[in-house]
Amino acid sequence: GQNIDQPTEMTATEGAIVQINCTYQTSGFNGLFWYQQHAGEAPTFLSYNVLDGLEEKGRFSSFLSRSKGYSYLLLKELQMKDSASYLCAVEDSNYQLIWGAGTKLIIKP
């Protein structure tokens, strides 16, 4: 079956750096997405990786290793507004997104 694994919850301190990992086993691979979801709101797009390596976008970076079935989202200079759930999703061979359950990130002052 298809499976996306992420930690359920992580805690970090304001101003610090946090890495959220995602491992996947899917039937085919056409790209990996990270979304941010604040409580009670819709998911919003953060990043997309289809080739191995690091994609940097401001304070957020996303890394992909296709051979290892692994990705991480790196958040730098954490701010209180970064408290949210972070969703990892893989686009499978049918171009459908398979979603992880999400990682709830708690930022402490």
Partner 1 sequence: IAGITQAPTSQILAAGRRMTLRCTQDMRHNAMYWYRQDLGLGLRLIHYSNTAGTTGKGEVPDGYSVSRANTDDFPLTLASAVPSQTSVYFCASSDSGTSGWGTDTQYFGPGTRLTVL
- In order of 27, 36, 53, 93, the CA distances from 73 in angstroms are 22, 11, 12, 23
- Give the C-alpha separation, 9 to 101, whole Å: 11
Contact between 98 and partner 1 by CB under 8 A: the answer reads yes
User: For 95, which DSSP code?
Assistant: S
Residue whose CB is less far from partner 1, 48 or 60: 48
> Among 18-26, 55-63, 72-80, 87-95, which window interacts with partner 1 (CB under 8 A)?
87-95
Mention every residue, 6+ apart, whose C-beta is less than 8 A from residue 72: 19, 20, 21, 22, 62, 63
Residue whose CB is less far from partner 1, 71 or 78: 71
Contact between 100 and partner 1 by CB under 8 A: the answer reads yes
- Give the C-alpha separation, 76 to 57, whole Å: 11
Residue whose CB is less far from partner 1, 47 or 78: 47
According to CB under 8 A, which residues from 4 to 63 bind partner 1?
4, 30-31, 33, 41-45, 48
Contact between 87 and partner 1 by CB under 8 A: the answer reads yes
Residue given tokens 């402490």 in the structure block: 108
Sites of contact with partner 1 (CB under 8 A): 4, 30-31, 33, 41-45, 48, 87, 89, 91, 94-102
